[in-house]
Amino acid sequence: MERYQIILAYDGTGFVGSQRQAKSRTVQGELEKALRALGWDGRTVYLAGRTDSGVHASGQVAAFDFDWQHSLADLRNAINANLPVDMAVRQALHAAEKFNPRFDATCRRYRYRLFCQNVRDPLRERYAWRVWPPVADLQPLAKIWPGTHDFAAFGSPPRSGGSSQRTVFSAEWQRQADEWSFEIQADAFLYHMVRRLVFAQVTVGQGRLPAEALAQVLQNRPAAPSRGASREIRSVPPGLAPANGLTLVEVRYDNPV
């Protein structure tokens, strides 16, 4: 019996999320079904993190124990032969005996895509948020997030009473024509954190919130009112960027497994 690590990609459109649920189609459920077709009799597959319903992944990490007598390439190919078409194992690796893809992770990277267009675009909207009115330059807003902060205004801890402090290593907006891409790397993320960050930045980009409000709310103090405003801004507008624009791109580990 040996522990294996796999890098998993999936189109999240047809899943209610990554974590196994009794009566719903999930990433974990489909992966475990594919492994059982190969003779796996384990109790659970471990994932690096949960993704919400509709969220995609190109670099989700999973681990499981399996008595496999063939090569890593054969393992990858055998699992893929039993997975649905909206999932694929990109790579299979040997892992340390106690490797846990969630608790051993030191960095996670997400990408969020959006485009500014006033007419529906079915080919793009499966994987990106269509935004209208258009946004102004979003690139300066990315400089707000790096560092260790309390992100309570932008998400909730996975466990009740848990810390909402997270360390963001890098954040960047890139633009190409009418498309914007936001990449952010952190030690971990709060529930809905990336989607709330994107929604807040789009709100600023559309001129509905002053840019300084984001930094001041992040620092847990009220933002100074903009000219003509009658009250302080104590929180960002509630809202979530749609799940379809979000992709888990990479999970990193300090020590090779």
Q: Report if residue 216 sits inside a domain.
A: yes
Note whether 87 and 150 are same-domain residues.
no
Let me know whether 85 and 114 are in one domain.
no
Contact partners, residue 118, CB within 8 Å, separation at least 6? 132
Same domain, 129 and 55: no
Do residues 21 and 130 both lie within one domain? no
Last residue of a domain, one of 94, 128, 147: 94
Q: Return the pLDDT at 235.
A: 67
- Within a domain: residue 99? no
254 catalytic residue (yes or no): no
Cβ count within 10 A of residue 207: 10
How far apart (Å, rounded) are the C-alpha atoms in residues 144 and 162?
23
pLDDT higher than threshold 90 for residue 148: yes
What phi and psi values does residue 7 have, to the nearest 5 degrees? -100, 125
Question: Are both 28 and 148 inside the same structural domain?
Answer: no
Q: What is the pLDDT confidence band of residue 22, given thresholds at 50, 70 and 90?
A: confident
**Do 137 and 166 share a domain, yes or no?**
yes
Neighbours of 165 (CB within 10 A): 14
pTM score, whole prediction = 0.92
Distance (Å) of CA 148 to CA 10, 105, 115, 252: 30, 17, 29, 18
Please report whether residue 12 resides in a domain.
Answer: yes
- The domain that holds 109 is classified in CATH as 3.30.70.660
Decide the pairing of beta strands 87-94 and 2-10: antiparallel
Domain count, the chain: 2
Residue 46: give its domain's CATH number: 3.30.70.580
Q: Say if residue 238 is in the same domain as residue 154.
A: yes
Structural domain boundaries, residue 75: 2-94
What is the tens place of the pLDDT at every residue in 183-217?
Answer: 999 999 999 999 999 999 999 999 999 999 998 89
Strand ranges (E), 23-124:
46-47, 56-66, 87-94, 105-116
- Annotated catalytic residue, options 11, 41, 52, 254: 52
Residues 86 and 123 in one domain: no
Same domain? 137 vs 21 = no
